Structure 1
Amino acid sequence: MRVLFVCSGNICRSPLGAQVLTARLGPDAPAFVVESAGTIAQDGAPMDDAAAAQSVRLGGSPDGHRARYLTAVIAGSADLVLTAERSHRAAVVSLAPRTAKRAFTVKQFARVLDGLEPAELGGVSTPEELVALVARLRGTVPPLADPADDDVDDPYRRSTATHERVADEIAAALVVVADALRAVR
């Protein structure tokens, strides 16, 4: 299964998400291809130092990350797309319309998973089936009072405290995502 994280520059949120998810998947990580891209990325740019430090703090491995620009091929090849913001999800779907049922903000995907009853997960036996279930049921989970709460702030060139808060938001969502992916692997 291919999991793609998307943010703007592919130097803070999306590589951190990919690295932390890989760490959280633990021994099951080899069953997944976890990668990232950015809607305005400069190909080859290194990961932001502050974001890399947060990745390490959360068990990720930022070594060797290089930014890459999001293309229709990259988006279309993903089985699950997790974005930092709703605008990134819209960009993914615009590039590759068939991703509409596989693209979510990372917080939205975790929120819908959290809202599922154990019985709803009973017939799910693969990660792809899990994504399809979440897509079908995303409209049944009560909406947020403020839709912007599904977005993860951009910490680029902001304080260490902002980087830490953003990393913790991503990591909290990924605990739920990783647990669900491991359970159906």
Structure 2
Amino acid sequence: MESPMPVRILTVCTGNICRSPAAERLLQGGLDRLLPGAFDVSSAGTRAMAGDAIQPLSAEIIRRLGGTAEGFAARQLTPAILREADLVLTMTARHRSEVIQMDASLLRRTFTVREFARLLTALEQRDSMRAPGADLVGLWRELPAQAAAVRHLALAADASENDVIDPYGRGPEIYRQMENELAPALLTILRFARLNTERSDWAEADVAGTRK
């Protein structure tokens, strides 16, 4: 039997050299440790500095948090790239609007990364995920619609809480602020993935036990 297509996650910022590459590389690394080959995380920019490498201070953050910054080249966001995405995570509400203007069909599959993390927490608190099972790829394909359905439960107290600050051309303290806004959201997403991987393992073990 052929392996299912990986879940395709796209992260989006402006230049594609600071925020979205950090999200891409840290999510890909964390998800690969949980489910190798199950996810394909990439990134693009709404006004990309096409071909450029990751900015040094962002690369330093990626490495410090356990990812790799090598072999990256910024690319411009296009409708063709969006058509391939199962889930789009933007760095700001403005980027989300630009994605939806480019492809309105992505309305229920596009979130700011900080918003998406809050929505996963809301889903966990409601215990509204489907019953544990082995089809984690299927769960993640359904996840954007489930998250969109609980948007009203996880509204930000302030609109700025949806955004990750743009550090491009600014000092180390702004890169630290970027990290402080982005990293907790990524950790929440990876924690959600880990917990559901464990549930799947338990479910498979239970099924195997009943077959003995």
With structure 2 as the length reference, what TM-score do the two structures score? 0.81
Q: Are 1:87 and 2:94 an aligned pair?
A: yes
State the partner residue of 2:18: 12
Which of 136, 142, 164 is equivalent to 1:129? 142
Identity percentage over the alignment?
38
1:178 is displaced (CA, Å) by 1.7
Please tell me whether the aligned partners of residues 76 and 98 of structure 1 are also in contact (alpha carbons under 8 angstroms).
Answer: no
Q: How big is the alpha-carbon RMSD for the aligned residues of Structure 1 and Structure 2?
A: 1.6
1:29 is displaced (CA, Å) by 4.1
Bigger radius of gyration, 1 or 2?
Answer: 2
Q: Are 1:96 and 2:108 an aligned pair?
A: no
Q: How does 1:164-179 map to 2 (within 5 A)?
A: 164-179=176-191
Unpaired segments ≥5 residues, structure 1: none
Please tell me whether the aligned partners of residues 114 and 182 of structure 2 are also in contact (alpha carbons under 8 angstroms).
Answer: yes
Q: How many residues align?
A: 184
State the partner residue of 1:31: 38
State the partner residue of 1:106: 113
1:45 is displaced (CA, Å) by 1.2
Please tell me whether the aligned partners of residues 165 and 177 of structure 2 are also in contact (alpha carbons under 8 angstroms).
Answer: no
CA distance in structure 1 between the aligned counterparts of 2:36 and 2:13, rounded to whole angstroms:
22
CA distance in structure 2 between the aligned counterparts of 1:156 and 1:36, rounded to whole angstroms:
16
Unpaired segments ≥5 residues, structure 2: 1-6, 201-212
SS in 2 for 1:69: coil
CA distance in structure 2 between the aligned counterparts of 1:24 and 1:75, rounded to whole angstroms:
23
Aligned AA (1:129): E
* Cα pair distance change 1:177/1:29, threshold 3 Å: farther
1:119 is displaced (CA, Å) by 2.2
Of 79-88 and 120-129, the range deviating more from structure 2: 120-129
With structure 1 as the length reference, what TM-score do the two structures score? 0.93
1:179 is displaced (CA, Å) by 2.3
State the partner residue of 2:207: none
Relative contact order higher in (CA < 8 Å, ≥ 6 apart): 1
Post-superposition Cα deviations, 1:63-109, rounded to whole Å, max 9, x if no partner, equal 01100000011112100100000000011111111111000000000
CA distance in structure 2 between the aligned counterparts of 1:127 and 1:148, rounded to whole angstroms:
27
Of 25-34 and 59-68, the range deviating more from structure 2: 25-34
SS in 2 for 1:120: coil
CA distance in structure 2 between the aligned counterparts of 1:128 and 1:138, rounded to whole angstroms:
17
CA distance in structure 2 between the aligned counterparts of 1:113 and 1:75, rounded to whole angstroms:
22
Of 34-43 and 129-138, the range deviating more from structure 2: 129-138
